[in-house]
Amino acid sequence: MATSQKFGELLSQAIREIRARRGAASIKAIQDEIGYALGRESGSSCVDYWRKGNVPKLEDLEALARELLARGGFSGREKLLQFLTQGRHPDPKKLCDLLWRDTPTVTETLRCHNLPPRYGDFLGRDQDIQRVAEGLASRWPVISIEGLSGVGKSTLAIEIGYRCLFEPAAMLAPPFDAVVWISAQHRPEQRLWLQETLDTVARVLEQPPLSQLAPEQKWVEVEKSLRAQRVLVIVDNFETMEDPDLERWIESIPEPSKMILTTRHGKARRAWDVHLRGLAEPDALLFIEKQLQRINLPHRNQDAGWLSLVRVTDGNPKAIEMALGYLKHGVLNLDTLVNALHTASQSVGRIFDDLFQRSWETLSEDARAALSAMSFFADTVSQEALGAAAGLGPYRLHAALVQLTELALLEGNAGLRYSMHPLTRAFVTVQLRAEPAWETAARERWIDWYTSFLEYYIPKTGEYWSMLQPLDIEMTNLDNLIQWTFEKEHALVPLLAQRVWYYLFIRGRWVACEKYVRRAIQQAAQQQQTALRLWLEVHLARLLVQRCNFAEAEERLLRAEVEIKALNQVELFVQTNIFNRLAQLYLLQGDPDQAERYGEQALALSEQFNDKYHRLRSLYRLGQVQLHRGLWVEAEHRYRELLAEAQQEHWERQEAYSKLHLALALIGQAQQDEAAALLTEAIDLGGKWKEPLLEGKAQLELATLESQRGRTESATSLAHSALTLFQRFGDRYDEMKTADLLARLDTACAPDHSRGNS
């Protein structure tokens, strides 16, 4: 089989471009997707093989090029032509022209969104979808989806959001670059929403540093982003938001971006109105049929009765769903229930009041406990977490969940996680007010469960990437928990901040991390939790160093060093890792002597306490001092030893960073090929395990290496990708380094006009 290193590099670059468009997808997930599309049961292994420079056979090459192009892997026709040429295609230009013309390409930034998942079948609403599409295609900046509770406003908005990203042909062209979802359904008591809306837009557009700006400047910068990109912002449950500033911001939404509001009543001025009513009778009957299948309730040839239910509820999907659940567990038959609902009121709102009260009276005590505890969670919840908060064991919880899902008070999915409709949440919140003692005890169980959850999944070393994955699912619930505990000034705030620190740091959520830790330090000081406060101080300094806030970082670290010495608790030097942080601070400030002094102290203490992890970290930092001094051979020897030890301990994160710095030692000795391979592996590991700092640093170093090799185009592409990552989470130090490299690359590419005309 033919080999071509350049082919492997072009393939790797195409995959990285796809990942940049996808945002959250890992390198392995993309390779799996491509491999399976090519009919390979092994998924990504064949793509890995080709990335090493092994050129595929002709039919695989053509199929691979088509799949890469369809996913947005080539930023231009020239890139595709180079790929086919390096892949030894007999007529690369002809195939390039053919593929470029006939393959549907993904040229926009896909999957840049925070939409909730879709659940169940989406039925009917063709005219409503068309009405929204017309509004999005018009010059109207705001579309207002209005209707009664339970009619499906949020469901329609979520469906529209997905169709604007994933099914552009069904909605409009061009599609949106991003969809931002802001919902008040989990916090109906909150009134002011502008700052949270701006922060959410910044986060979804991968510009979290904007969150730290002053309110007026944040407004301006977010507006600039909405002018530069085609963004759809969806504000759900808008009627509960009583924020004049938010209303002013909505009215000023700039082209080409758009805004969709869902609201029970018309609140926005100058909006394209979409009045949502209940499902049409044929769609409502089909909806009933699907729900009967879901809850395993026999149909019993009651077509007239089902039609009466549709009419008494005005085709409201949520009301129908709750009525069917009540039929299964209630004491009334269909005709009697329809008559009871008709007697309750001609208002759908009053029908809900009646249905919720009837359902609540039907519930067992365990089901009431589970439903009440569900209101604590911001997003979908696992059975284990819900059972812990409700105080129910697995058997009793299972029986409660069966009753709640059949009554349509909770919604379950295939992942054994549960969610709650806003109407149900509002009803339960009222019920909870009558049980303050129960709520207090349940809140403590809720906090205890997540405290233990974090202790288990966040190893103290922060080295086991795989342990962080369950937190991705729980992050919105953790955000809700931390916000609630901060508002209540709960005693466990500092501990929660400590336990969530590694996750937020590794995932690049530095803005939230800094915010949490600063508040936790204040509370730890008030509670006189000295050891925990010192740990938080040191780890706040870790963030500040990367953000080039050297003065504050140094002040906090030196003050903490003095405090620990005064306490005469030597173990705190190891637990806080303070000497390592001081070494990093002075190294980045260009003082290798101070860095070495602190690095040696860290090493001595780790050996004194027989702490293998901190010993590796200390040697890793001392290796950086050697790199700074140009001691390439010594640094290579050190990082090869560290790499072997990390692999022996299965510390993948330490292994990846050792590869990164081993590559730098090899570059210093002109061993470019092995260095490039190591950097590519580090990039892949960073992408696979969602650590943008590692991915960005490795891309920056590979860009520098490519620049040294004279491969300006490849270097520029890598540097731009790294710069995007650093800007996303606010790594100011590496951002400036990358900007300097790009400036040098621009100068190298600039035409020379100095000679003039001869």
In the chain, the amino acid numbered 123 is L
CATH of the domain at 162: 3.40.50.300
Dihedral angle sign, alpha carbons of residues 386, 390, 396, 399: negative
- Could you tell me where the beta strands, DSSP code E, fall in 309-425? 381-382, 411-412, 417-419
Domain count, the chain: 5
Question: Which residue, 690, 727, 683, is CA-closest to 706?
Answer: 683
CA-to-CA distance for 411 and 371, rounded, in angstroms?
11
Whole-number pLDDT of residue 544: 95
In a domain? residue 711: yes
Whole-number pLDDT of residue 166: 59
How many beta carbons lie within 10 A of that of residue 723, not counting itself? 21
Burial category of 488 from C-beta neighbours within 10 Å (exposed 0-12, middle 13-18, buried 19 and up): exposed
Whole-number pLDDT of residue 395: 92
Q: Which residue range(s) make up the domain with 386?
A: 365-434
Is residue 232 within 8 Å of residue 178, measured between CB atoms? yes
Between the alpha carbon of residue 493 and those of residues 485, 497, 501, the distances in Å are: 6, 6, 12
Residues 153 and 255 in one domain: yes
Whole-number pLDDT of residue 753: 45
Q: What single DSSP character describes residue 3?
A: B
CA-to-CA distance for 344 and 347, rounded, in angstroms?
8
In a domain? residue 509: no
Residue 286 — φ and ψ, nearest 5°?
A: -65, -40
The alpha carbon of residue 256 and the mean position of all alpha carbons in its chain are separated, in whole angstroms, by 25
Q: What's the whole-model pTM score?
A: 0.72
Q: Is the peptide bond before 256 cis (omega within 30 degrees of 0)?
A: yes
| 733 sits in which H/E element | helix 732-749
Residues 343 and 212 in one domain: no
The alpha carbon of residue 348 and the mean position of all alpha carbons in its chain are separated, in whole angstroms, by 37
In the chain, the amino acid numbered 417 is R
β-strand partners of 412:
418
Residues 257 and 316 in one domain: no
- CA within 13 Å, CB half, 198: 24
In a domain? residue 231: yes
In a domain? residue 480: no
Whole-number pLDDT of residue 173: 66
Residues 57 and 165 in one domain: no
CATH of the domain at 692: 1.25.40.10
**Residues in the chain where the model's pLDDT stays below 50:** 23-24, 105-110, 167-169, 753-758
Residues 135 and 230 in one domain: yes
CA-to-CA distance for 288 and 282, rounded, in angstroms?
10
Residues 354 and 383 in one domain: no
Residues 384 and 424 in one domain: yes
CA-to-CA distance for 495 and 493, rounded, in angstroms?
6
Dihedral angle sign, alpha carbons of residues 260, 266, 270, 275: positive
Angle between helices 27-37 and 58-70 (to 10 degrees): 130
Using only C-alpha atoms, what is the Rg of the chain? 29
Between the alpha carbon of residue 106 and those of residues 61, 157, 619, the distances in Å are: 20, 23, 45
Whole-number pLDDT of residue 293: 82
Residue that terminates a domain, selected from 337, 362, 387? 362
CA-to-CA distance for 221 and 213, rounded, in angstroms?
9
In a domain? residue 550: no
Whole-number pLDDT of residue 430: 84
CA-to-CA distance for 611 and 512, rounded, in angstroms?
30
Residues 37 and 130 in one domain: no
Residues 353 and 374 in one domain: no
Between the alpha carbon of residue 636 and those of residues 571, 613, 626, 663, the distances in Å are: 31, 20, 9, 8
Question: Which residue, 722, 650, 652, is CA-closest to 693?
Answer: 722
Residues 341 and 373 in one domain: no
Residues 265 and 324 in one domain: no
Whole-number pLDDT of residue 109: 36
Helix, strand, or coil (residue 417)? strand
Is residue 354 within 8 Å of residue 387, measured between CB atoms? no
Helix, strand, or coil (residue 123)? coil
Residue 490 — φ and ψ, nearest 5°?
A: -65, 145
In a domain? residue 567: no
Is residue 626 within 8 Å of residue 599, measured between CB atoms? no
Residue that terminates a domain, selected from 407, 434, 461? 434
List, as one string, the DSSP characters of 282-341. HHHHHHHHHHHHHHT---TT-HHHHHHHHHHTTT-HHHHHHHHHHHHHSS--HHHHHHHH
Residues 253 and 136 in one domain: yes
Quick one: CA torsion of 227, 117, 280, 344, rounded to 10 degrees?
-110
List, as one string, the DSSP characters of 241-276. ---HHHHHHHHTPPTT-EEEEEESS---SS-EEEE-
Residue that terminates a domain, selected from 102, 118, 152? 102
In a domain? residue 225: yes
In a domain? residue 719: yes
